[in-house]
A and B are shown apart, each in its own frame.
Chain A
Amino acid sequence: MVSYFLRRLFSVAVILFFVSFLTFVIFFQLSPDPAVMICGKTCTPERIEQIREQLGVNQPFLTQFFTFLGGIFAGRSYGAGEAAIHCAAPCLGFSFQTSQSVMDMIVSRLPVSITIAAGAAVLWLLIGVSAGLISAIKSGTWWDKGAMMFALGGISLPNYFIALVLQYVLVVQLQILPFPSTPDFAEDPLFWFQSYIMPWSVLAFGYASMYARLTRANVLDTLGENFMRTARAKGLPPLLVLRRHALRPSLTPIVTLFGMDFAGLLGGALITETVFGLNGVGKLAADSIGKNDQPVIMGVTLMAALFVVVANVVVDLLYAFLDPRVRIKA
């Protein structure tokens, strides 16, 4: 188990290394010269050279890359001597646009993204898994058909489209809800709830549909297994059969999926945040892309990759805990 865990940690390190290398190549080699962009319209060649020196982009590529990596673990300084700006340990550099530390920018936006992701996750798990479960048990009934039709709609509707429709109907026409914003929970819990409920629902609808379909398929598969017949032949009441024998094998794959999806959202629900204008990490990424602010895009990409890759390991460990077969193999 320990060696398994260590091997997984090693693979995380390798993946993250390659992700950062790739992002670095893309942003610092393929993109336009950042020095020219920072310098602006009134610019002299000497000034550009000076900025290049300051950013360290006049160095060879690999040196730049390892300085960047070093910055993440040990911090780094930009420039030399008196004018040097120090950037403390997890250093992702500074925004070209606002000169703020990228790390600070991301950390300040994280709470919003976490709130959106967590609220949506609660909704989609509750609705998706239970709808899938009931559909599987009552397979072939009108409930099943109705729920699956709903789920089909959910996976086919782009979430920005639902977002616009909901906002038009609920906010503009009926005026039941306020425009989504990111208020403090402590100040006014009701308003907080009203502001977030629409982003949560929009985000959750697609996921809930996917989870309902998956749960249904898994439960139906499990119900067809031989051990289910045995359990029923033993005379166990149907509910107990379901709870004791069917749920665990059919829900373990959902755990994997959930870990990855949730981690993906922590790196910003790009579309939902952009449509509703909520200042999370996803909106930060979208805005930075619009302004070509490379350090910020790079920072968000790395952060998102970190979440996904770490979630991958957590999920695998959890899986070993939930599914004895995996434990033996490991």
Chain B
Amino acid sequence: MTTTPTQLAVAAEEKGSPLNGGGPTSARRVIHTMRRSPAVLFSAGFIVLIALMAIFAPLLVQLSGWGPYEYDANAVNPDLGGLPHGSLGGIGADHWLGVEPQSGRDIFARIAYGGRVSLSIAVSATLLTTFIGVVLGTVAGFFGGVADQIISRLMDFLMAFPSLIFMIALLSALPAGNRPVLLVLVLSVFGWPYMARVIRGQSMSIKNREFVEAAYASGASKLQIVFREVLPNLTGTIIVMCTLSVPGYIGTEAGLSFLGVGVTPPTASWGQMIAAAVPWYATDPMFFMVPGTFLFLTVLSFTVFGDHLSKAIDTGEAR
């Protein structure tokens, strides 16, 4: 229960440095700090692994011998209602992570292809929300006035929305079409205000700093100031917010697919695989454990990585 002044000083240095917009921390120093933490190395390693698995899914599937849509009737036991042969959901040399009950589709192949879908949706949604959030956030924060009024009201409105239920309603009402693209759009519509709010706050404080005044005095135009003075100072915040929003989108996409309004079968996504496993949870627990574990570890890795990055860059607000 004793908090000594020295401890506080350290805490204050770690937390309270009034950067007000995340000053440009040198990338080299950030990398240096990050490399010393084993948690960062593990999480970064896992992210790279999952990304490679997603990118090279077609090659890996050739190696493992079973495609994501191939039925293997020999791997399941029709006498037991279609449960996989062997223990642990049919894990073995033939099917690396077992097979789906009844259909006998290879779970490893579906995980690899599902990772493609989940990751590309999350990354695209992150890029799109970042773009919208940074543009509107800077416009609102830097230019202020009517633009700020309109954008801020819009953000308030979107953030006061029961977004999950509305995303579900929207996705269920929209015609089938290209599901992943729809998901990205819907996630972005409700996601950008969170990015924009932070960017708006930071650009508002940056525009009052001395170096901006100096730039004005030396005759820079508003546009030049936005691109040369404000945006470079926001890089740290933007990177941190990006890293931390990827796991959020992976989770939301999985949740939507779990509820049946996301990616539609036969295309695999991790959330949808867990949903498919619900009726089998008591008899074939491996069926939900495998995609669940992949989902968990991926989200965890991104979160750990983002947390450490945020600490290393120290963006003040963007925690």
Contact = CB atoms under 8 A, between A and B. Distances in A.
Contacts, number: 143
A291 to B, nearest CB: 10
A127 interface: no
A297 B172 contact: yes
Interface string B267-298: 00001001101100110010011001001100
B261 interface: yes
B165 A232 contact: no
A26 B174 CA distance: 8
Interface in B293-319: 295-296, 299-300, 303-304, 307, 319
Given A137-B1, A224-B16, 12 more contacts: A27-B173, A31-B173, A138-B1, A158-B258, A161-B274, A164-B281, A168-B281, A264-B162, A274-B259, A297-B173, A300-B165, A308-B160
A210 B296 CA distance: 16
B162 A305 contact: yes
Interface of A: 11, 15, 18-19, 23, 26-27, 30-31, 137-140, 152-153, 155-158, 160-161, 164-165, 167-168, 172, 217, 220-221, 223-225, 228-229, 232, 238-239, 264, 267-268, 270-271, 274-275, 285-286, 289-290, 292, 294, 297-298, 300-301, 304-305, 307-309, 312
B2 A238 contact: yes
Given A157-B296, A161-B274, A270-B164, A137 B259 contact: no
A152 B303 contact: yes
B285 A223 contact: no
B227 interface: no
A117 B253 CA distance: 23
Contacts of B299: 156-158
B295 to A, nearest CB: 6
Q: Which A-B residue pairs are the 5 nearest by beta carbons?
A: A224-B12, A156-B300, A161-B292, A304-B162, A156-B299
Contacts of A292: 172
Nearest to B270: A158
B266 interface: no
A225 B16 CA distance: 8
Of B7, B15, B275, the most chain A CB neighbours within 10 A belong to B15
Contacts of A275: 278
Dominant SS among interface residues on chain B: helix
Interface residues of B, number: 52
Interface of B: 1-3, 5, 7-8, 11-12, 15-16, 156-157, 160-162, 164-166, 168-170, 172-175, 247, 251, 254-255, 258-261, 271, 274-275, 277-278, 281-282, 285, 288-289, 292, 295-296, 299-300, 303-304, 307, 319
A99 B200 CA distance: 48
User: Which of the listed residues B12, B165, B255, B307 has the most CB atoms from chain A within 10 Å of its own CB?
Assistant: B165
Nearest to A140: B7
Given A156-B300, A289-B260, A172 B165 contact: no
Contact of A160 (B7, B164, B255, B303): B255
Contacts of B247: 156
Contacts of A221: 15-16
B162 A26 contact: no
A15 to B, nearest CB: 6
A90 to B, nearest CB: 18
B3 A158 contact: no
Contact of B169 (A23, A264, A308, A312): A23
Given A152-B303, A238-B2, A239-B1, A285 B168 contact: yes
